Amino acid sequence: MCGKRIDHAEWRLTKSIVDIERLRAVAAKHNVKIPDDEEDYYRHLLNGLDATAQQVADLPEYEDPRLQIEPETLPRQWFKQKPNPLNGWSHRAEIKLPSPKDKRLDNRTVAFKDNVSIGGVPLTGGTTPEILTGKSEYPVPKIDAVVVKRVLEAAGTVSGSANCEHLSMSPLSFTSFTGPIHNPWARGYTTGGSSSGCAALVGINQVKEWRKRHGLPPIDEELGEGVDMAIGGDQGGSIRLPSAYAGIYGMKPTHGLVPYSGILSLFPMIDHTGPMTTNLEDLATLLGVVAGYDGIDPRCTPETPLREKVPDYSAQLASFKQTKQAAGEWTTSAAGKGLRIGVITESLAVPNLSPEIFKVIQEAISQFESIGASVSHISIPEHLLGPSIWTIATRAGIASLGMRNMPPPLLCYPCPDITPPALSQSSFDILDRHNPASANMVFNATLLQERPDGASLAAKAMMHVHELRAAYDRALTEVDVLITPVITRMHSQHPSLDAKVEDKMKPAIGSTLNTCQFNVTGHPALSMPAGWGKAEDGDAKMPVAMQIIGKRFDEESVIKAAAAWEVGGLGLDKWDGR
C-alpha cells in the first residue's frame, strides 16, 4: 500500500468509508469468507485503497502536449452536413494549419473515422452519447490524434469526421446510430464496415471520376460532397472491407507502423489505422504522412521506424515505375516481371465464398500472369484456423477493454472523457435494435470468462497467433506478396431496423474470413478494386476487390505489386455494361 503509513492504533480512528458489509460483499464475489477477527483490518486496507483512488480522482486530466491542438488552428468550428445523401458525414469542419511542415497533402481533403479524436469536434463512435459516455451529450475532444496532427502538418485539410458503425463492431454499414451508410455505387446497399462513412465519402469522389472517365452523366446530387482521402480503423477488416465494397483503395498497415494514439481502441493487439483513397498513388502518399513512431503508442515496437526513417512510399512507387520504364518493362506484358505472387489456396475455399468473387479473383490472378509475374498457389492450412484464433485471442479483451475504454496494462494515452457504462437493459435495447453484434460481444466475453479454461484459452490462442504469423512468414520467403479475396459475399441491401436479429446478423457472418487473420499477425494488407460482380440481392453490379499481403513493414512490395497489376487494366475499368 502506497502513501502515508498508518500504525495499528491510528487506523482504528480513521473515518470508515468502506464498512464491514461492503467488505463482506466484496469477498462474497470471490466466494470467500474472511475470519471475523480479521475483517476489521481488511476493511482498513480497503479504506486505504479508497483514499488513494480518491486522490487520483481529484486530479485534473493530464493533457499530453504532444497531442494538444495547434493554437494556429483555433478557433475550430464544426457543422452538420446538409444534404448528406449517403449519410457518410458525421461532423463537418475545415481545419488547416497556416504554416505546415511540408506540402505533401496540399489542397487535399481528408476525413477521419468517427472514433478518431479531432480537437473541438464531437466524437460519437457510431453510437449514442449514453452508451459512449453514460451522459446525454457527445464528448468534444481536447486533443488531436497523432494521425490528425500529421495530416495537418503535411498541409492537408481536415474536412471532418465520417460516420462509422456502432462501436466499430460491424463489417456492414447499417448499424450506425445515425442510420445506414449507403454505397456510392448503388443506394440501399452496404458500404461495408466499420469505416463505412470513410469508404462512402472517398467512394463519392471515385464514382464521380469513374463516371466522367466512362462518359456517363454526373449524379452529384445523389452522392453529395466527398473527400480525396480518409483515415479509417481496422481490427478485423474494417478498412479493407468497406474499401472493397466501395471500390476504393484501403490499407491496413503493419501493426505499429501508424500510431493509434488518440483513437478509440478495441484491443491493442489488433488496433490498426490507415489510409483510404481513390488511387494507389494517393494511398502511398498518405501512408508516408501518417507513419512512424510517436513516442506514445505502445503498439509501436523497435521495428517501427522513427519519423525521419519512414520510407517515402510515394517516391518508391515512382522509382519502381521509372526503373521499369527504362528497362522497357512498364507494359501490359512485362510490368510484373520479377514479381513473385503467391495465392493462398485456402482463401479461395472459405465457407460460402461467392462465385462472383471467386471469378473476379481468378481473373485477377490471370492478370498477374499476363503481366509477366511468377504466380504460384501456396497452401497455408493455418489460414482457415485464423478466424478462430483471432476470436478467442481478442473477444474477452474487446469487451473488458475496448467497450469500457479501459487502458491496457501498458503505458499509453487513453482517449479522455470516454467512459462507457456496463451493459444494461436500456443499452441492450439500443444495441439489439441497431447492432446486435455489440451486445453479442459482451455475451461472448462473459461465456468465455465463465468457462473453467477461459483464461487458458485466450493464452493458448495468443500462442497460436505466433504460429499463424510464422506460417505467413514462411510463405513470404517464397514469394513477394500473397493474394486473397477481401469480401466473401457480394453486396447486400440494408435490413430494416425492425428486422429480427437473425436477419441483421446473417449477412455479416463470414465477412472477415480472409481479413481478420492479418490483424492478429500484423502483416500489411491492401484492398484494391479488381473487377465487378452482381449484388447478392437485386440487379446492381458492384465492385469486387482483391487483397495483397506483404511481409511486416514491407508496404513497399505490396504497393509495387498493386501498381504492376494495374498496368494490365484498372479493376474498375473492367466494366462490361449493366
pLDDT tens digit sequence for 75-134: 999 999 999 999 999 999 999 999 999 999 999 999 999 999 999 999 999 999 999 999
- 65 in any annotated domain: no
Q: Residues 6 or more apart from 226 whose CB is under 8 A from it?
A: 88, 184, 200, 201, 202, 203, 204, 205, 208
Q: Give the confidence band of 17 by pLDDT, cuts at 50, 70, 90.
A: confident
- CA–CA dist 426, 576 (Å, integer): 50
Q: Using an 8 Å Cβ cutoff, are 240 and 527 in contact?
A: yes
Return the residue matching grid coordinates 513477394.
Answer: 480
Catalytic residue among 238, 261, 314, 511: 238
| Residue 89 and residue 16 share a domain | no
Residue 425 C-alpha cell reads as 437493459
Q: Give the confidence band of 538 by pLDDT, cuts at 50, 70, 90.
A: confident
- 138 in any annotated domain: yes
Q: What is the pLDDT of residues 263-274, one digit of tens each?
A: 999 999 999 999
Whole-Å CA distances, 406 to 121, 168, 248, 401, 411: 22, 16, 33, 5, 12
Question: What angle do the packed helices 39-57 and 20-28 form, to 10 degrees?
Answer: 90
Higher pLDDT, 408 or 514: 514
| Residue 128 and residue 43 share a domain | no
| Residue 109 and residue 27 share a domain | no
| Residue 28 and residue 117 share a domain | no
Q: Is the pLDDT of residue 504 over 50?
A: yes
- Taking the chain, what is the end-to-end CA distance rounded to the nearest angstrom? 72
- 307 in any annotated domain: yes
Q: Give the confidence band of 1 by pLDDT, cuts at 50, 70, 90.
A: very low
pLDDT on residue 539 = 86
Q: What is the CATH number of the domain that holds 424?
A: 3.90.1300.10
- 193 in any annotated domain: yes
CB atoms within 10 A of CB 470: 12
Catalytic residue among 176, 194, 314, 354: 194
| Residue 264 and residue 157 share a domain | yes
Q: SS in 3 state form for 17-37?
A: CCCHHHHHHHHHCCCCCCCHH
pLDDT on residue 454 = 86
pLDDT on residue 68 = 96
pLDDT on residue 8 = 44
Q: Using an 8 Å Cβ cutoff, are 330 and 324 in contact?
A: yes
pLDDT on residue 2 = 46
12-37 mean pLDDT: 85
| Residue 51 and residue 82 share a domain | no
157-174 mean pLDDT: 97
340-344 mean pLDDT: 98
* Domain of 121, in residue numbers: 72-573
| Residue 162 and residue 103 share a domain | yes
Question: What angle do the packed helices 425-434 and 436-450 form, to 10 degrees?
Answer: 120
Q: What percent of the chain has pLDDT over 90?
A: 92
137-158 mean pLDDT: 98
**In degrees rounded to 5, what are phi and psi of residue 259?**
-60, 145
- 84 in any annotated domain: yes
Query: Beta 481-485 vs 541-549: how paired, if at all?
Result: antiparallel
Higher pLDDT, 171 or 7: 171
Q: Is the pLDDT of residue 227 over 50?
A: yes
Whole-Å CA distances, 433 to 169, 430, 437, 496: 14, 5, 10, 10
| Residue 423 and residue 395 share a domain | yes
- 1 in any annotated domain: no
Q: Is the pLDDT of residue 7 over 80?
A: no
| Residue 194 and residue 342 share a domain | yes
| Residue 78 and residue 46 share a domain | no
- 464 in any annotated domain: yes
Catalytic residue at 194?
A: yes
Catalytic residue among 90, 113, 176, 324: 113
Q: Using an 8 Å Cβ cutoff, are 537 and 515 in contact?
A: no
| Residue 184 and residue 97 share a domain | yes
The alpha helices in 411-523, defined as continuous H runs, are 425-434, 436-450, 454-478, 501-505, 517-521
Q: Using an 8 Å Cβ cutoff, are 398 and 441 in contact?
A: yes
539-564 mean pLDDT: 97
Classify burial at 323, counting beta carbons within 10 Å of its beta carbon; exposed 0-12, middle 13-18, buried 19 or more.
exposed
pLDDT on residue 419 = 87
Return the residue matching grid coordinates 452508451.
Answer: 131
pLDDT on residue 9 = 43
pTM of the predicted structure, to 2 decimals:
0.95
Quote the number of domains for the chain.
Answer: 2
- How far, in whole angstroms, is CA 528 from its chain's centroid? 16
pLDDT on residue 523 = 98
Q: What is the pLDDT of residues 180-208, one digit of tens each?
A: 999 999 999 999 999 999 999 999 999 99
- CA–CA dist 405, 511 (Å, integer): 26
Q: Give the confidence band of 493 by pLDDT, cuts at 50, 70, 90.
A: very high
pLDDT on residue 577 = 62
Catalytic residue at 492?
A: no
pLDDT on residue 16 = 55
Q: What percent of the chain has pLDDT over 70?
A: 97
The whole-chain average pLDDT of the chain stands at 95
Q: Is the pLDDT of residue 535 over 60?
A: yes
- CA–CA dist 547, 531 (Å, integer): 13
Residue whose C-alpha is closest to residue 133's, from 418, 442, 403, 424: 418
Q: Using an 8 Å Cβ cutoff, are 164 and 194 in contact?
A: yes
Q: Is the pLDDT of residue 364 over 80?
A: yes
Residue whose C-alpha is closest to residue 171's, from 529, 489, 537, 559: 489
Q: SS in 3 state form for 528-571?
A: EEEEEEECCCCCCEEEEEEEEECCCCCHHHHHHHHHHHHHCCCH
Q: Is the pLDDT of residue 368 over 50?
A: yes
- 578 in any annotated domain: no
DSSP string, 135-158: SSS----SB--HHHHHHHHTT-EE
pLDDT on residue 515 = 98
Q: Give the confidence band of 3 by pLDDT, cuts at 50, 70, 90.
A: very low
Q: Using an 8 Å Cβ cutoff, are 243 and 197 in contact?
A: no
pLDDT on residue 578 = 53
| Residue 22 and residue 110 share a domain | no
